[in-house]
Structure formats: structure tokens, C-alpha cells
């Protein structure tokens, strides 16, 4: 048995902790989405390694496919402009999979980092550990390394925020290619195109991923979305209806908390947009009943 630490073009690298071998999946496991990076797999060896079976997963994230992680490090930066809806979606994914979440504000030496830190604290203080890092000026790297500890973590976030740079800094070695930010759009270019797992200093593992910028919410019942907003919970207690979705219901405790400045307006507005999108997709698929 071993762990899938890398997969490119249908060929997987499986490691038993010491040696790594190239493996091909057997039969139906060749289909896309059957094998996740991080999977524990049964391997048989003939001339080459064959992946025979995948062990049950402790956790699973899709697009990119990563299995068995303990925590997700959501990386944002002053440049490219943060996409907080993506942060919200990644947090929903983390909660759904019962993963710990860390938000790393990278490029913290740049202008705007302080304001970004305050905004992140306002919206996410109850939901994730928050830390500041700069690969450029070697700030917060040691601390982030300690936070990773012996866990298996995955770096996630927009293209160009510095995930691969952070990984290299955490490993103390240049293992991953890093990209340029294109000057015109200040957007990343998707330099990392596959997921790969590396050993970290404190006995854990770190997976670098590509941008996740296409992350879509699964087609889920929109009414369950509120379950992934634990920060709304205390205010939802005073909603008139127990199954209130905090959209346009009368006497909604969550909307009241927003009006009274007790709950972040921007976080609520992004929730409402995600709710309405999910609702529209649900109606489109199952009709209005
Ligand atoms: N100023 C500054 N630039 C940084 C810092 N960390 C990374 N960068 C730069 O940000 C750019 C993008 O870095 P990457 O590590 O390739 O970003 P990524 O998140 O892996 O991007 P994808 O692989 O496309 O998802 C590079 O030009 C890095 O040099 C930092 O702390 N400060
Ligand atoms: Mg990268
Ligand atoms: Zn409500």
C-alpha cells in the first residue's frame, strides 16, 4: 500500500514513505476523478506498478482532486485582488469535509495588506486561523510551518497569490515552479497545473494546488447552505422561522444583525448571492415545488 503523491496525464506516483514508483491505474480506476492525490492505494507490481484499489477517504476535495487532508490553507494577497466569494466557497468545502482552515494573507509587505488583514478578521475570525506571511521578506513562514505541524495540509486559492512560493518557502527548497503576475491584469496565470504532495519540516505533508479559480458549488439543496455559516448561528436563533434561509423572510435575525452592524454586511451579501445562485440552479433542475 502507498500514497498517491502526484498524478500527471494518467500516470501516478505512489510513495510508501521511502520509495516512490510510477503507477498506472487498473480498469475503471483510469476514469477521470477515480483517483485523488493523497489517496491511499493498493498497488501490485509486475514490470510496472498497477493501482488496484483505493482505500476509503478520510476527506475529499474536488477540482482539483485531493484526498485525506486535515486542513486547508487558503492563501490570499493584496495582489491579485482578493476574491472573497472563493474564500467563502473554500471555507464551505472545508466545513463540509470537517477540515481545519487557515487563511494566510501572503505578500504582507505590500501596500494594502493591513487593510486586508482587518477585513479578513472581520469576516472570518470565528472560522479560520488567520496569519500574515511574506515570502519576499521571510515574514511568518516559520510560524506557518509550525501551524502546519504534523498535519497534511493543502494550499488553495486564486492563481498568483503565491501558493507555490509559500510551499517552497515552507520546504526551504525550490520544489515548485512559480509564475509571474501579468502586469496588465495583475492576475495570475495558472503556473501550477497539477497537485503534488511534499513532506514538511514538522513531519506533516503539504500539497500545492492550481488556482481553484473555477471552483463551483456542487448542485446542492440551497436550504442547506446556511448550515455552513456557523458565524450566522447565534443570530439565526432569533429568526421567526426555524428553517429561515435569511433571504427575504420576515423577521430574520441574521438580516437584523447585519443592519445593526453585528454581522459583516459583505459576508452576508456574498451568502445571499451564493444562496440565490444555488436556488436558481435547483429550480432549473428540479422545478419549483
Ligand atoms: N511581493 C511579493 N510577491 C510574492 C510573494 N510571494 C509570491 N510572490 C510572487 O507572486 C507571483 C505568483 O506566485 P506563485 O507562487 O506562482 O503563485 P501561485 O499561487 O502558486 O499561482 P498558480 O500556480 O498560478 O495558482 C510570483 O511572481 C511570486 O514571486 C510575496 O510574499 N511578496
Ligand atoms: Mg502555483
Ligand atoms: Zn433568518
Rounded to the nearest whole angstrom, what is the distance from the C-alpha of residue 160 to the centroid of ligand 2?
A: 7
Residue spans of the domains in the chain: they are 2-54, 60-208, 222-286
Rounded to the nearest whole angstrom, what is the distance from the C-alpha of residue 161 to the centroid of ligand 2?
A: 8
**What is the CATH superfamily name and number for domain 60-208?**
P-loop containing nucleotide triphosphate hydrolases (3.40.50.300)
Mean pLDDT, rounded, for 190-195 = 69
Residue of the CA atom closest to atom 9 of ligand 1: 162
Residue of the CA atom closest to atom 8 of ligand 1: 162
* Whether residue 140 has its Cβ less than 6 Å from ligand 1: no
Query: What percent of the chain has a predicted confidence (pLDDT) above 70?
Result: 89
Round to whole Å and give the CA distance between 106 and 135: 7
pLDDT in tens, 204-215: 999 988 765 445
Just give the CATH number of 2-54: 2.40.50.140
Mutate which of 74, 82, 136, 162 to test ligand 1's pocket (most atoms within 8 Å of Cβ)?
A: 162
Residue of the CA atom closest to atom 13 of ligand 1: 162
**Predicted local distance difference test score (pLDDT) of residue 248:** 92
Domains 60-208 and 222-286 fall in the same CATH topology:
no
Q: How many other C-beta atoms are found inside a 10 Å radius of the C-beta of residue 208? A: 25
pLDDT in tens, 225-279: 999 999 999 999 999 999 999 999 999 999 999 999 999 999 999 999 999 988 9
**Predicted local distance difference test score (pLDDT) of residue 240:** 97
Round to whole Å and give the CA distance between 289 and 286: 8
Round to whole Å and give the CA distance between 266 and 243: 22
pLDDT in tens, 1-30: 899 999 988 999 999 888 899 999 999 999
* Whether residue 68 has its Cβ less than 6 Å from ligand 1: no
Just give the CATH number of 222-286: 1.10.40.50
Q: What share of the chain is helix, strand, coil (3-state, %, to 5)?
A: 30, 25, 45
Amino acid at each position: 500500500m502507498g500514497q498517491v503523491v502526484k498524478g500527471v496525464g494518467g500516470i501516478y506516483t505512489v510513495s510508501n514513505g521511502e520509495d516512490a514508483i510510477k503507477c498506472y491505474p487498473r480498469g475503471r480506476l483510469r476514469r477521470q476523478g477515480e483517483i485523488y492525490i493523497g489517496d491511499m492505494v493498493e498497488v501490485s507490481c509486475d514490470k510496472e506498478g498497477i493501482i488496484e484499489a483505493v482505500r476509503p477517504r478520510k476527506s475529499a476535495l474536488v477540482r482539483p482532486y485531493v484526498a485525506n487532508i486535515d486542513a486547508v490553507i487558503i492563501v490570499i494577497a493584496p495582489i491579485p485582488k482578493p476574491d472573497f466569494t472563493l474564500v467563502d466557497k473554500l471555507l464551505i468545502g472545508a466545513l463540509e469535509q470537517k477540515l481545519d482552515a487557515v487563511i494566510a494573507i501572503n505578500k504582507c509587505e505590500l501596500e494594502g495588506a493591513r487593510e486586508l488583514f482587518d477585513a479578513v478578521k472581520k469576516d472570518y475570525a470565528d472560522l479560520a486561523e488567520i496569519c500574515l506571511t511574506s515570502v519576499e521578506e521571510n515574514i511568518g513562514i516559520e510560524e506557518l510551518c509550525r501551524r502546519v505541524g504534523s498535519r497534511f495540509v493543502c494550499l488553495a486559492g486564486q492563481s498568483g497569490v503565491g501558493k507555490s512560493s509559500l510551499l517552497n518557502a515552507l520546504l526551504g527548497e525550490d520544489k515548485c515552479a512559480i509564475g509571474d503576475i501579468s502586469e496588465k491584469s495583475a492576475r495570475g496565470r495558472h503556473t501550477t497545473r497539477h497537485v503534488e504532495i511534499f513532506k514538511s519540516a514538522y513531519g506533516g505533508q503539504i500539497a500545492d494546488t492550481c488556482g481553484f479559480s473555477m471552483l463551483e458549488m456542487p448542485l446542492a439543496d440551497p436550504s442547506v447552505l446556511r448550515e455552513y455559516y456557523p458565524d450566522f448561528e447565534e443570530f439565526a436563533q432569533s429568526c421567526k422561522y426555524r428553517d429561515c434561509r435569511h433571504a427575504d423572510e420576515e423577521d430574520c435575525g441574521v438580516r437584523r444583525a447585519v443592519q445593526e452592524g453585528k454581522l459583516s454586511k459583505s459576508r452576508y451579501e456574498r451568502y445571499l448571492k451564493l444562496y440565490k445562485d444555488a436556488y436558481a440552479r435547483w429550480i432549473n433542475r428540479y422545478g419549483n415545488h
